[in-house]
Each structure stands twice: as C-alpha cells, then as structure tokens.
Chains A and B, each alone.
Chain A
Amino acid sequence: MWFALTDEQATLRDAVDDLLTAECPPAVVRAGWPGGDPAPLDRLWTALAEMGLLAAAVPESAGGLGLTEVDLVPPLTAAGYAAVPLPVAETAAVAGPLLAAAGDPGGQLAALVEGRCRIAVAGPGGLVPYGQRADLLLILTPPDGARLVRPDEVATTPVPTMDGSRAALRLTGDPVIGPSAGTRLDVPAHLLALTADRATLAASAQLVGLGRRMLDLTVAHVGTRRQFGAPVGSFQAVQHQLADALLGLELAAPAVLAASWAAATGADSRPADVSAGYLLAADAAERTARAALQCHGAIGYTTEYDLHLYAKRVWAIVAAAAGTDHHLDRLGTAIGLPAATAEQGGRP
C-alpha cells in the first residue's frame, strides 16, 4: 500500500504544469472565447502533443506513451487548473485509448499522436463541447459502438455556451448521425462503459484542478482586499468558507486518484469508485466556485477579472457529465442499497 504519485507521475504532472503556466495563462483561455485569436491555442495544442500528453494513454506500439488512467489524472488536474480551452481530456483520456482499442479502423491514430487531430466528444443532447475547434467528433453509440466523424460529414450548428471557450457544436441530423458517415468503431459494451468512466474521471480531475485554481485566486484576493481597516481574509465568515472549500477539494482529490487506480487495474469496484470520485469532485468544485465568487464580492462578478473563466467551466463540465442522480444511483446500487421505494416523505 502506497498512496502517492510515483516520481514519473509527478514529473509528468510538473512538466504539464510548467507548460500550461507558460502557454495557457488567462489571456489564452480568453482567446478561446468567441472572437479570440486561435493562434495561441494552436501553439498550445502542438506543445501538449510534443510532450506526449495527447497520446499518453495510447499504447507505445502505436506511438503513444502507454500510460494508464492513474498517470492521466495529475496532468488532467493541471489542465483543469489552467482551464485549457481545448478538448485535451477528450482526446487524451477518451478518444485516444478507444481508438487504439478499436484497432484504429480509420487510420486516424497517427494524426492524433502527432497533434494534428483534435477530437471532441458528443455528450447528452448531441452537444459537442469544443466541436467548433475539433477535427473529428466522437459519437458514442451504446450498446455496441461509436462513430468518428468529421464535422462536415454530419449536420451541426454552432451554439453559444455559458463558458464561451467551450465552442460547442450541436448535432442536428435526424437521426442525429447518418448511417454511413465517418468511421464506425466496433467496440464491445464493456469497453464503451470503460470509455464513459474515463470521461467521468477526466471530468473529475479537471474539476479538482478548477477548484484549486479558484481557491488560489480567492486566497490571493482576500489577503490584499481591505475593508473596515483589515484584509477581508481575516474575517471569520470569509475564512470559514475557504476552509470548507479546501476541505472538499482535499477529500475529493484522493478519491479521484483511487478511482483512476480502479480503472487502471480493472477492479470490479470501478463504477462505484468513479462515481464516488465524481460526486466528491463536482460537489467540491461547485462549492468552491460559490465560495470564491462570494468572497470576491463584485470584482469576481466581472468578466474583466479571471474568476469567471474557471467558475463557468465548472458548471459547464458538470452539465456535460452524466449527472448527479446517475452517479448517486449507481453508487447506491453498488453499495447494496435497494431502490428507493417509499413515497417521498415516508410513511405517515
């Protein structure tokens, strides 16, 4: 038993951290908003590819790093911390390993590995975050497969989103996707389920990172903002909100890492562990977003200040995930609870 990152894992995380600090400051996140200049985003993507992150979970035989879910959680947490406005998690944690497992029928893996191909993943309601900036869209079609399409092969429309840097598309075809479009990936149901859990893990990791970013911003702000002759961070009502925010994040982070361990080792507990990690991470990130906004006061409620870049991403990721009810229900069943049977309010 040893519950800490290995040196290699910490090295990858630090390298990604350093890269994102340099290449993905708030100005670059803003560039992802409508009207922004895409050049720094393209540079960022290339740099991430060169580091190997985008193909980290692709087998070495296919040019990837051959890493596991555990290795991915720290860099994806860093991607959350930076609010990278590109489908990094989607490409690295979801599409890459799925494409490799499906045998790369369309021959797109090499482009992914080399950073020439960004893949966005369609979520509930046919909404595809980062679809406007993706080369390929991955559409999971449970129970038995998935499809990889170019955006021009299917009917889509760009949609404005709360977090403007999500650059989403909506699939509008009827049925949503034509039977002949793109490349069909034949994958068994269990692999699709694993893929969905990888997406949840990636969301959880980013949520933890986003929470830490907002907490750091807030600690810096309340340490210098003075009211009533004192830094507002010395007021107990402010201190206690931020202490609770830290507590939530500190408890969520190990749970997300443990969930990635379950995924990487093929443990039976994977669905329960992934749901547990997600519930803790989503809750902590949302509470931190609320506390951060509250403790900033009005400055936090401006678009000139950076907080909104991170807070809105939290709500966007939560909206795109499978949902609190789904995870609560799945976890409840896994721990042996019967389905809810009683009327709301209980028996008289």
Chain B
Amino acid sequence: MDLRPDPADEQFRAEARDWLRAHRPSRPLPSGDTRAGFAAHLEWERTLHDGGWSVVSWPRRYGGRDASLWQWLIFEEEYAAAGAPQRVTQNGIFLLAPTLFEFGTDEQRDRILPAMAAARQLWCQGWSEPGAGSDLAALTSRAVRDDAAGGWRLTGHKTWTTRGAFCTHLFGLFRTDPQQQRHRGLTYFLVPLDAPGVTVRGFGRFDGDEGFADVYLDDVFVPDADVIGEVGAGWRVAMATTGSERGLTLRPPGRFTAAAARLVQLAGDRPDRLTGRLREQVVRAWLGARAYHLFTLAQVTRMLDGDPPGAAASLNKIHWSELDIALHRTALELLGPDAEVDAEWTRGFQFSLAGPIYAGTNEIQRGIVAERLLGLPRR
C-alpha cells in the first residue's frame, strides 16, 4: 500500500489546475438544462476540447491524452474544485463512449468519438419509455428489419430523456425480436435526432429546467452501421453501460469532495447559524465525501489489478446519491431563509433529489447489492 501520489500524477494535477484556472468561465453559466444555457455550455466544452482536456482518459487519436485512471480521477477533482461547469456532454462521453470502446467497430469509433469529444455530436440516452422504467426490459419501442435498405425501421416512444431537446443524437434500446422473451430480443441503436420520422418534445423537470424530452420515432430508418454490438445482444451491451453510469464515470468523488469543501466554507461564513446539530451534519457530509474518495482509491486499485467493479458499482450509486442530498440539505439549513431564493445550493438541492431515481433507482440498486454481492435469494 502506498497512498503517496506519483510525482508524474502531481505534475499532471498542476497542469490541469493551471489550465482550468486560466480558462474556466469567469462567471457561473446559466443551467445547461435550458436551451440558452446549453449553448453557453457547448462553447465552454469546445474550449475544453481545444485545450485537450475534454476526454483525458481516451486515446490520443480520439482527442484524449491517454491519462491513467489515477490521472482521470485527479482531473475530475481539479475540475470540480475549480468550479467548472457540469458537463452537458456527459451522457455521450461517460455512457456511450465506454460502450463504443468495448463493443463498437473501428469505423464507429473513428466516426463518433472525435466528434463527441469536440462537442459536435451531442448524445442523449434513450432507454426509458412510459411503460419501462425500472423494468427496462419491458420496453416496447421496436425496430423492424428493412433488408432492401440495409438497415432497420424504428418506431416507439422514449421519455425522460435528459437534454434530448438539445442533443443531436440518441443511443437507445429497441426490440428487434418480439418473439423472444423480454431482454433477449433487444438491440442497441444509434439514431440521429434530425432523421425523418423523429419528433422531440422538451418538457420541464422538478427543478424547473426544460431538461427532459419525449422522443417519438415513427418509422425512422437506421443503417446497419449504427447497430452497436450484435443484433439481439442489446441488453448485454446496455448493462455494460449501466456499470459506468452507476459507478465512477458518471459521479467521480471529486465532485463531492469539492461540494463538501464549499459546504465547510459556507458554515464558516454563517457561524450565526452553526448549531451543534448543524456542525455535526456538516462534518458527516464532509466525511461521506472523504469516505467515497478513499473507497474509490481502493476500487481503482482493484480495477488496475484486473478486477472490474461489476455489481459493486451499485454501492457507489447508493452512496453518492444519498450523500449529494445530505450535502445540499445541510447547506439549505445553513442558508436559512435564503434557502428558498433561487441560487446555486438551492438548484443543486433540487437536482440532488433526482439522484436516487435516475441511473437505476436506489431500491433497484439495493436489490442488486443484496442478490449479487451478498448472494441473497431472489424472489
């Protein structure tokens, strides 16, 4: 065991910190889940890309810097500590890209990854349907074979699609074999949202932003080149993506250690409100972030040792989502009456409430932990 950072990693940290300090937007951007805010965010993400910091862990040929897992964690820490904006491109970069690295063809990788890294192709996740949330395998959107055209015709309705109204492309699961049971007959498709037959309708989330979209598909043609993995193997491909979504890639610990540091600062600024109870809450929230950081270091060590996290990603998901609420709820108490005024903590709190729902609800995650990690019997 050696918890000292590598000198090369510290050098990487310094480089990232300097660059972020010099280039991050000087004022907070409007929410990326509104149309105007999204545009402002894209400008920032292109700056990030031009600096070579958009996808640090990717190979250079796709716009990355071949950074190690340690360096990626460090970058995320520095990014959050610098107060740089949330990535509006994250669903592509953190969910689709890992899938392409694992299941895509060279042609797909060459075509998609550089455009994604440069925030030119903007991807949203089209999994959920009105009748298929937790029970994703109940999805009914279908793809029918069009041999003559060399592809598939997609029809159905995806919903709760994050930033779907602003994105250019969707990745999603469609039923290609209605004869097969549930998760067997599914295929993973890529769909340009400007294709004929696609209708997108944005709608408001709990926090007021127009962050959700319904995506209606009516006989939308998709060529064979836009199938990821084998036809009928969509479930397996998608489950590989959920691992990234629940685990580290979507919510690395730097985000929470930075939020915890801001919370400690807020408490210092508001000693008039710091009761013993609130002080304990601040310490416990800070501790939750610290614990997640250390847990991640151990997890990354295991990964580099060749042991992928698998179902253990569900532990991350439960922890970070509940921690995020605790951090923000405590901040609201420190703010007192000001907590209802629309501002960063207030907005962050509203968004944190979604954490136990998206990326697989925490009830589902606890079931996975119980059955796959503890080996408890299935119902």
Q: Which residues of A contact B (CB under 8 A)?
A: 1-6, 9, 70, 215, 219, 222-223, 230-231, 233-236, 238-240, 242-244, 246-247, 250-255, 257-258, 261, 276, 279-280, 328, 331-332, 335-347
Contact = CB atoms under 8 A, between A and B. Distances in A.
A337 B374 contact: no
B256 to A, nearest CB: 12
A252 B301 CA distance: 17
Contact of A342 (B275, B302, B375, B376): B275
A328 B282 CA distance: 10
A242 B373 CA distance: 10
Contacts of A5: 1
Contacts of A235: 379
A219 B376 contact: yes
A208 B294 CA distance: 16
Nearest to A218: B374
Contact of B3 (A244, A258, A343, A346): A258
Given A1-B297, A246-B369, A257-B1, A335 B379 contact: no
A242 B294 contact: no
B264 A337 contact: yes
Contacts of B374: 215, 219, 239, 242-243, 246
9 contacts: A223-B376, A238-B376, A239-B369, A247-B319, A255-B294, A257-B1, A335-B283, A338-B267, A342-B272
A243 B369 contact: yes
Given A336-B268, A337-B264, A279 B287 contact: yes
Given A70-B1, A337-B267, A340-B274, A234 B301 contact: no
Interface of B: 1-6, 9, 70, 264, 267-268, 271-280, 282-284, 286-287, 290-292, 294-295, 297-298, 300-302, 305, 312, 315, 318-319, 333, 336, 363, 365-367, 369-371, 373-379
Contact of B377 (A233, A252, A255): A233
A9 B282 contact: no
A11 B286 CA distance: 34
Contacts of B268: 336-338
Given A9-B1, A279-B287, A332-B282, A251 B295 contact: yes
Contact of B298 (A4, A6, A223): A4
A230 B283 CA distance: 42
A292 to B, nearest CB: 12
A339 B274 CA distance: 8
B279 A239 contact: no
Nearest to B287: A276
B1 A261 contact: yes
Majority DSSP secondary structure for residues of A touching B: helix
Contacts, number: 175
Given A4-B298, A222-B376, A239 B370 contact: yes
B276 A340 contact: yes
A246 B373 contact: yes
Contacts of B377: 223, 230-231, 233-234
A56 to B, nearest CB: 16
Contact of B366 (A2, A239, A276): A239
A3 B287 CA distance: 19
Given A4-B301, A247-B315, A250-B315, A280 B366 contact: no
A6 B1 contact: yes
Contact of A3 (B1, B292, B336): B1
Ranked 6 nearest A-B pairs via Cβ: A239-B370, A243-B369, A243-B366, A233-B376, A3-B297, A340-B276
Given A222-B376, A233-B377, A338-B267, A247 B280 contact: no
Contacts of B2: 1-2
B366 A244 contact: yes
Given A4-B302, A331-B283, A332-B279, A338 B271 contact: yes
Q: Which of A2, A243, A255 has the most CB of B within 10 A?
A: A243
B137 to A, nearest CB: 19
A7 to B, nearest CB: 11
Contacts of B376: 219, 222-223, 231, 233-234, 238-239, 242
Contact of A344 (B275, B291, B336, B375): B275
B298 A247 contact: no
Contacts of A254: 291, 294-295, 297-298
B301 A2 contact: yes
A261 B2 CA distance: 8
B336 A347 contact: yes
A82 to B, nearest CB: 21
B379 A230 contact: yes
Given A261-B3, A341-B272, A346-B336, A3 B301 contact: yes
A242 B376 CA distance: 9
Nearest to B3: A261
Contacts of A261: 1, 3
Given A3-B301, A276-B290, A345 B370 contact: no
A325 to B, nearest CB: 9
A1 B9 contact: yes
Given A1-B297, A4-B305, A337-B283, 5 more contacts: A231-B377, A255-B294, A328-B279, A328-B284, A340-B275
A227 B119 CA distance: 55
A336 to B, nearest CB: 6
B271 A251 contact: no
Contacts of B5: 1
A346 B277 CA distance: 10
Contacts of A234: 376-379
A335 B266 CA distance: 13
B5 to A, nearest CB: 6
A39 to B, nearest CB: 37
A114 B219 CA distance: 81
Nearest to B314: A243
Contacts of B282: 332, 337
Contacts of B271: 338, 341-342
Contacts of B286: 331, 335
Nearest to A253: B298
B317 to A, nearest CB: 10
A328 B366 CA distance: 28
Nearest to A280: B291
A254 B319 CA distance: 15
A222 B195 CA distance: 53
